[in-house]
Structure 1
Amino acid sequence: MDTANVKNACSAGASPGAGGISGSVPRLRPRAFDGLAAAVLDQRGAVVRWTRTAQDLTGFPAEEVCGRPVQKLVADLPDALRGATEMPESGRVRLWHRRGDTIDVTFRTTRVEGSAEVLVLAAPTHHVADHEQGAALLRALSAQNRITIALHDTDLTTVQTNATPDVLGGRPVQPGTRLCDVLCAEDAESLEGILRQVLETGAPVVRRNQRVSWRHDPARQHALSLSAFRLEDARGRPTGVAALYIDGADHLRARRHLDLAREVAERVGGSLDVVRTAQDLADVLAPAFGDLAAVDLAHPVFDGEEPVKRLGGGDMGNAGLAPATAVWPAGIKRGDPIPLLPDHPTVRRFRNGETVVFGLDDFTAMVGDPQLVEYLVPRDAHSVMVAPLHARGLTLGAITAWRCGRSAPFTEDEADLMKQIASRGALAIDNARRYTREHRAAAGLQQLLLPPATTDTPAAETAGAYLPAGGGAEISGDWYDAITLPSLRLALVAGDVVGHGMRASATMGRLRAAIQTLADLELEPDELLTRIAELVQRLAAEAPPGDHDFVGGTCLYAVYDPVTRRCAMASAGHPPPVLVRPDGTAEAVGISPGPPLAIGCLPYETTTIDLEPGSVLALYTDGLVEQHDGDIGQGLRHLTDALAASCRPDRALDETGQALLADLVDQAPRDDATLLLARTRAVPAEDTALWDIPADPAAVSKAREWTTRQLTTWGLEELLFTTELIVSELVTNAIRYGRLPMDLRLIRHDVLVCEVTDSSSTQPRLRRARTTDEGGRGLFLVAQLAERWGCRHGQNRKTIWSEQLIDCSR
């Protein structure tokens, strides 16, 4: 401070300009000096100089203060200052204000060189505290190596900064530089636009995320978080912009890791296919985590089996590569085996469940074989990370991620992230593996339980087609069957069991076996379904608690007789069959469906229709007609139209069935779809013979004559003797134990069928006659002479039949 000026000011009783600077000097001063009062004391402590700022602070003008002891201005003089001959270097006191109150000030003293006078500088304590705190804050911010502070003037030129060379990749930042001297032109222009907006509007910018590249290294990007506010002078005029650039690399990395973990959770595990899950995992990792990613699995995992306990390179094959456009070394592609790596401590760490990171040199040294390195290492790769896929105590495979070109090497925190991703991915792959195993078992069981896809019988040619739910992803209990019956008849079955999976397949197998057994008893369709419903109710009662409602199903059972050309059918809650006539017209058969099999509270009703030779009868499950928004009526009409168009005489039935399933069912149906097609045939009239039997024992000899004459006409003389014996015994039993009307029918095809029908419901019984018995040997003789024999009951009638093979080689 110019003491001469201060002296002149006090002597003249005038108030100098700001800071006591003479009027010839422009009135400019930093805001830090606002409110700073100055006074000069003599050796006795009396005021000899008094500045305008001192007057502003206390309200006392110079003429009222000069010459008086400074203690008179101090209220509550501290004991340390009472009687003191020298002023302390600094302190805090309360000064009187002219208006009568006091002011808390902080002061500092210094002796004027070459004089006994003392210069006292004072300012309100709260101003001093503000400046001290502001200075401390600025020093703390400037000391943070992750926060760069830059003060820019109104031209956005850097005036001051704490940026060190290591912050900007070894490039120093000098005052007077601009952002374009440090950053790439495009990034500098973007940041200057933000700073210019702050300068013009005064609205601060807080945590604006920017990605920038240094001018000397444009290929690498850095994440910055920018906060900026405008600087103003005492009059509120803009003087520049203060900008805080915070290194956002950690935040960006954490955000990227969080996003990657979320994407793994969302995208991996949505498929129950092992290879699809592995590919999804690779797609998530590349290029978000590494430039290239591969997922390799143990060979048994592909088939749903458990891997060996300790995996090596030769035990695995590739299941997923990403990105799809990447060119892998040596043309590696999905399914290729992974070469066996040499025994190495790092390989042993992987086998023990650790995630390992290699530099290119370390990986090359570990492999040792240059040809193997060339086979495994992608072009321009410099860093690789390998993580085991470990779940439920099994090592299923490995994830390999590569970084190439200018990408940063893998870090330890990224290894921790990869460990988490591998854990989640391993669980998803293991779920798919376990599902694959169960699905294969269920699918195998289903195929074993289903009949042959095609059959060829005297009654009809049949072809069955089955499509599991989910495009093969699910297996349920839908089935079809074609069962040959005596007298050239054919039983057709379509059924649908509640539920999916192994349990449904097992239930389906039990029902199919039961229906085949009951079909051999030649029950009428309504009676057979009643017996099956009772069986299902017993199965439901045997089911574990809580599973009773999951045992049930529907069934359609039909029996076609090629001699009478009639088909009898009954339904247990099953959709009606569709009939396609030889002229190409088609319609759903009008039947009265009874309750589903698990309910069975109402009786079933048999419906009988006539079928022309060459007609096609289509039995199906509801999965085939529920594709159109659940509207079964619309689905049935669509199926009927498709059958009318497809069931041509010149087209094979199996080809027709497969084409219909492909056309009518979605790519991934919600339920199984089953279709059974039967093209009917008829036994010609000349191959059958029918005679009424009178209730007269003499009719037995008549029946032998009819048989002899008919077999001779058919050229079956070699069967005359056995057939006459069979006819004699069957007709004798009918006359003795049966009731009128009675008839004898012979049918010729690949077998000779002999049928005797009467109106009695008495069940014939095969027994072994004693030596002294006069009768009881009839059915025993029939059983010995015929290939097979049996009895079936109809409404108010029964038929005993036998079959003999015909030598077709003649």
Structure 2
Amino acid sequence: MRHGAAVAIIDALGTVTGWSEGARRLTGHSAEDVVGRPAARLLAADPPDDVLAERTGTVALRHRDGHRVDAALTACPVTGADGRPTGFVVTADPPGTTLAAEAFEQASMSMSVFDLEQRYLRANDAACKVMGVPESALTGRFFADTVEEAEYNTGFLRHLREVAETGRPVRYESFAAAPALNREHLWSLEMWPLHTASGELTGVAMAAFDSSEQYWARRRLALLNEASTGIGTTLDVARTAEELIDVLVPRYADFASVNLLDWVLGGQEPPMIPDGGGVLHRIAHGSTHAGDPGAAVRVGETDFHPPHSPPARALREGRAVLSQAGEPDFTEWLAERNARSPQGRPYRQAAGERLTAWGLEEAAFVTELVVSELVTNAIRYGEPPIQLRLIRDRALICEVSDASSTAPHLRRAHAYDEGGRGLLLVAQLTQRWGSRQTGRGKTIWAEQALPASDHWREPPGFGASPGNGNPHGGT
């Protein structure tokens, strides 16, 4: 018997025939008190039926001094040479073991246990929720095989190895994403070594507390403090708008603008907000793109906002309005904005004329928006000359080429980046997109399905790109 284990041996008649030192400490009864006597005398209450059927569960025992002891018991049958049962070996976990296991499983913070080679041994419910898989999908797997390659995951693995090698605990904070989370969170993590009773290092335990709410609360407080001292230093409306932009860009936004109604600039009494759209004056804007704010409206100009646009809705509803790519109203508003931008206007016009000649007016709205985004992307991040090509085959393919060999990347969506949202919107509007290197730079292509009514086909080879016969080349 292992040292300290609470173990009893009971024969087929229910008589105690063996009694460990751990059993004595658990119940207060010595071996002389119980060996040779019925095991039932040790019970403080009849075991539940499900415990008898499963031979495992919590059983109420009577301590030698009379108080009740609830212990998690497991009975393993013992058979003789003829295969008949001769009794049971009953083991009891120390008091609180079951409760401790439940505490681990039900903890609100993510908790995991790893072996010394960074393989999962256990993961509680919170950890499984973060990882997006059940515990069975993690157990036995290396941590590195369960997450994407990212700097924060490399750091996590490095700290696990540090604890396993040094036997010293580690505590740190990290901004990190997880498979089941939609954005990065701020985690406060602690890792500590696990030892046997003899001191041998056997594993590493980890607890991660999501402190994102506290972090963002501190950031909001800091923003309010900064705004209170940096915005409104003068009575000039335009200067106040510029100070607001300075606070927002680039710390919180890639692009921001301030647009005002006529009565604000004229010092008049505020009129009723119309149910329809309205005209706003651009008095300030800012962008992370130096020298190219990506704005469809210049400072000092006016702009009409249709009823479905986010600014018109915000005025009408008297609250903040959050819009994003993929929403029909936002896509329509963005298309209208881009149509007024000088960037890419000739390209859109040429695309529209070609689609009309092909009888594909139905596809014009999405195609012109895709052209606008690809051309704007090339103007901002590529090098001239910039060329547009439309290919009508089994699908409608739009290609924009420039002289830069830099590969394109999806960038995070920014709701008011007026001059072009880049490739994220293209990816959402088209069936697929990609890029290929050419001898003179690169080409970015996007493919749309043709309208159902269009059955036209060009002769073989029409519009195919040189190289491998694939109109898309590589992705």
Q: TM-score, normalised by structure 2?
A: 0.55
Q: Deviations over 1:668-710 (max 9, x none)?
A: xxxxxxxxxxxxxxxxxxxxxxxxxxxxxxxxxxxxxxxxxxx
What amino acid is the match of 2:175?
Answer: R
The percentage of counterpart residues that share the same residue type is 25
What amino acid is the match of 2:113?
Answer: L
What amino acid is the match of 2:196?
Answer: D
Cα contact 1:18–1:53 (8 A) shared by 2: no
Q: CA deviation at 1:382?
A: 4.8
Q: Does 1:362 align with 2:325?
A: no
Q: Does 1:338 align with 2:308?
A: no
User: Counterparts of 1:469-548 in structure 2 under 5 Å?
Assistant: none
Q: CA deviation at 1:237?
A: 2.8
User: Counterparts of 1:35-50 in structure 2 under 5 Å?
Assistant: 35-43=5-13, 45-50=14-19
- Pick the aligned partner of 2:88 from 104, 119, 144: 119
Cα contact 2:294–2:418 (8 A) shared by 1: no
- Pick the aligned partner of 1:91 from 59, 68, 72: 59
What amino acid is the match of 2:114?
Answer: H
Q: CA deviation at 1:131?
A: 0.8
Q: CA deviation at 1:212?
A: 3.4
Q: Deviations over 1:328-382 (max 9, x none)?
A: 34674322x2222334486356334232233345234247747645469995795
Judging changes above 3 Å, is the alpha-carbon distance between structure 1 residues 240 and 368 closer, same or farther for their aligned structure 2 residues? Answer: closer
Q: CA deviation at 1:272?
A: 2.2
SS at match of 1:358: coil
What amino acid is the match of 1:323?
Answer: S
SS at match of 1:194: helix
- Cα distance in 1 for partners of 2:329, 2:242 equals 28
- Cα distance in 2 for partners of 1:404, 1:256 equals 27
Q: Does 1:282 align with 2:249?
A: no
Q: Does 1:131 align with 2:100?
A: no
Judging changes above 3 Å, is the alpha-carbon distance between structure 1 residues 157 and 118 closer, same or farther for their aligned structure 2 residues? Answer: closer
- Cα distance in 2 for partners of 1:403, 1:286 equals 17
User: Counterparts of 1:260-279 in structure 2 under 5 Å?
Assistant: 260-279=223-242
Judging changes above 3 Å, is the alpha-carbon distance between structure 1 residues 250 and 108 closer, same or farther for their aligned structure 2 residues? Answer: same
Q: Deviations over 1:467-515 (max 9, x none)?
A: xxxxxxxxxxxxxxxxxxxxxxxxxxxxxxxxxxxxxxxxxxxxxxxxx
Aligned Cα root-mean-square deviation (Å): 4.9
Judging changes above 3 Å, is the alpha-carbon distance between structure 1 residues 199 and 109 closer, same or farther for their aligned structure 2 residues? Answer: closer
Name the larger-Rg structure: 1
User: Counterparts of 1:23-38 in structure 2 under 5 Å?
Assistant: 34-38=4-8
Cα contact 2:277–2:307 (8 A) shared by 1: no
Match of residue 241 from structure 1 = 204
- Pick the aligned partner of 1:149 from 92, 95, 111: 111
What amino acid is the match of 1:280?
Answer: E
SS at match of 1:243: strand
Q: Deviations over 1:33-83 (max 9, x none)?
A: x5322122342x433344565467657457x86444557x75xx76979xx
Cα contact 1:264–1:284 (8 A) shared by 2: yes
User: Counterparts of 1:720-731 in structure 2 under 5 Å?
Assistant: none
Match of residue 321 from structure 1 = 285
Q: CA deviation at 1:296?
A: 1.5
Q: CA deviation at 1:197?
A: 4.8
- Cα distance in 2 for partners of 1:169, 1:402 equals 40
Unaligned runs of 5+ in 2: 344-371, 378-411, 426-475
What amino acid is the match of 1:319?
Answer: I
User: Counterparts of 1:438-453 in structure 2 under 5 Å?
Assistant: none
Matched residues, number: 339
Match of residue 486 from structure 1 = none
- Cα distance in 1 for partners of 2:280, 2:67 equals 87
Cα contact 1:211–1:224 (8 A) shared by 2: yes
Q: CA deviation at 1:278?
A: 0.6
Judging changes above 3 Å, is the alpha-carbon distance between structure 1 residues 102 and 192 closer, same or farther for their aligned structure 2 residues? Answer: same
- Cα distance in 1 for partners of 2:229, 2:212 equals 25
What amino acid is the match of 1:320?
Answer: A
- Cα distance in 2 for partners of 1:338, 1:261 equals 30
User: Counterparts of 1:392-471 in structure 2 under 5 Å?
Assistant: 404=421
What amino acid is the match of 1:236?
Answer: G
Judging changes above 3 Å, is the alpha-carbon distance between structure 1 residues 187 and 39 closer, same or farther for their aligned structure 2 residues? Answer: same
SS at match of 1:239: strand
Q: Deviations over 1:233-292 (max 9, x none)?
A: 122332221112344554544444443333322321222221111111112122333210
Judging changes above 3 Å, is the alpha-carbon distance between structure 1 residues 93 and 282 closer, same or farther for their aligned structure 2 residues? Answer: same
User: Counterparts of 1:494-643 in structure 2 under 5 Å?
Assistant: none
Unaligned runs of 5+ in 1: 1-16, 20-33, 386-399, 409-810
Judging changes above 3 Å, is the alpha-carbon distance between structure 1 residues 118 and 157 closer, same or farther for their aligned structure 2 residues? Answer: closer
Q: TM-score, normalised by structure 1?
A: 0.35
- Cα distance in 1 for partners of 2:45, 2:175 equals 62
What amino acid is the match of 2:259?
Answer: D
What amino acid is the match of 1:37?
Answer: V
Q: Deviations over 1:75-123 (max 9, x none)?
A: xx76979xxxx9x977323354xxx999946456576566575426254
What amino acid is the match of 2:2?
Answer: A
What amino acid is the match of 1:155?
Answer: E
Q: Does 1:212 align with 2:176?
A: yes
Judging changes above 3 Å, is the alpha-carbon distance between structure 1 residues 370 and 275 closer, same or farther for their aligned structure 2 residues? Answer: closer
Match of residue 456 from structure 2 = none
Cα contact 1:95–1:102 (8 A) shared by 2: yes
SS at match of 2:192: strand
- Cα distance in 1 for partners of 2:29, 2:215 equals 57
- Cα distance in 1 for partners of 2:74, 2:129 equals 39
SS at match of 1:340: strand
